[in-house]
Amino acid sequence: DMMNQGRWQDVVVIIFTEFGRRNFANANPAGPGTDHGHGNVVFMFGGCVNGGQHYASPLGLTTDADFLLDWMPGDLDFRQIFNDVCKLHLGIPQATLTPVFSEPTTPTNASYAFTVDPNLPIPFYTPC
């Protein structure tokens, strides 16, 4: 037990799924289901995590039109979360992390391109 050992402040656990789900069931003849989507959820816990936070627009859905979308939009890219935990908790310099967690736009990845924003720290983690 990390708390009993006085090491809880050293622990950050990130639980992340690599895919979301679509908002509506698909028309698969083998049986209804939902295809992979965009929006998903990330859970974090540890001694430096500011618990009880919800960081997103409500369910990623803010207008009536959003509820009719095939895909739930994401508000915060998982790479930003991983980047900030590595920087703030592990002390890895941003210059080392940017090439790891950023993915420039190419003809084959336009929807997944991402650049880490070093000025956008995640609000639910505070360095101990």
Phi then psi for residue 95, to 5 deg, are: -60, -30
- Going by C-alpha positions, the residue among 63, 68, 77 that lies closest to residue 22 is 68
pTM of the model: 0.74
Which residue would you say has higher pLDDT here, 71 or 83? 83
Mean pLDDT across the chain, nearest whole number?
Answer: 79
pLDDT of residue 90 exceeding 90, the answer is yes
pLDDT value for 58: 56
Which residue would you say has higher pLDDT here, 123 or 36? 123
- Residue 116 vs residues 25, 43, 99, 101, 107: alpha-carbon distances, Å: 33, 20, 9, 7, 20
Q: Categorize the per-residue pLDDT at 11 as very low, low, confident or very high, splitting at 50, 70 and 90.
A: very high
Cβ neighbours, 10 Å, residue 34: 13
8 A C-beta contact, residue 60 and residue 74: yes
Q: Categorize the per-residue pLDDT at 14 as very low, low, confident or very high, splitting at 50, 70 and 90.
A: very high
pLDDT value for 110: 63
pLDDT value for 72: 66
Say how many Å lie between the first and final Cα of the chain, rounded.
19
